[in-house]
Amino acid sequence: MSKNKIIAGLAVLLVIASAGVVMVRHKKPAASQASASKVQTPTYAKAKPDSPLTNAVLIKDMKYAPDPLVIKVGTKVTWLNGDNVSHTVTADKSTDGFASPTLGVGEKYSYTFDKAGTYAYHCTIHSSMHGTVTVIN
């Protein structure tokens, strides 16, 4: 009888202890995500034409997506070369101020847009590649 009680007590303690371990495990990644989100994390997953106001452009299959990218003034935009060849992100008008070096596969380029307007850009390697960033207030 008392042996059974001890076993039951131990079982309860085990459950509480393992629940505690699970909670600690879940807490740690959540905390690091919170600090990471203070930096403007690129959101490539939502890069679709029907979901504006993201801050990332994925370069893939010789295209920039989304195109146009619609953002608010002050947004830092990051392009990621997710293609299997090199590309550039080069403003059509040099006065617009953004021009990446040649981006190899997997490389990124970022630029912060501080003025509302429409910014056309292209790839200097592939003349068929064009994109637009629309910056709104």
Tell me the per-residue interface mask from 67 to 106 with Cu ion, x by CB under 5 A, - otherwise.
Answer: --------------------x-------------------
Rounded CA-CA distance 17/25 in Å is: 13
Q: How far is the CB of 111 from Cu ion (least distance, A)?
A: 17
CB 73 within 8 A of CB 114: yes
β partners of residue 108: 80
Does 60 sit near Cu ion (CB under 5 A)?
no
Return the residue of 60, 76, 126, 130 that touches Cu ion, per CB under 5 A: 126
Here the tokens at position 115 are 């003025």
Q: How many Cβ atoms sit within 10 Å of the Cβ of residue 92?
A: 13
Q: Does position 125 bind Cu ion by CB under 5 A?
A: yes
Residues that bind Cu ion (CB under 5 A): 87, 123, 125-126, 129
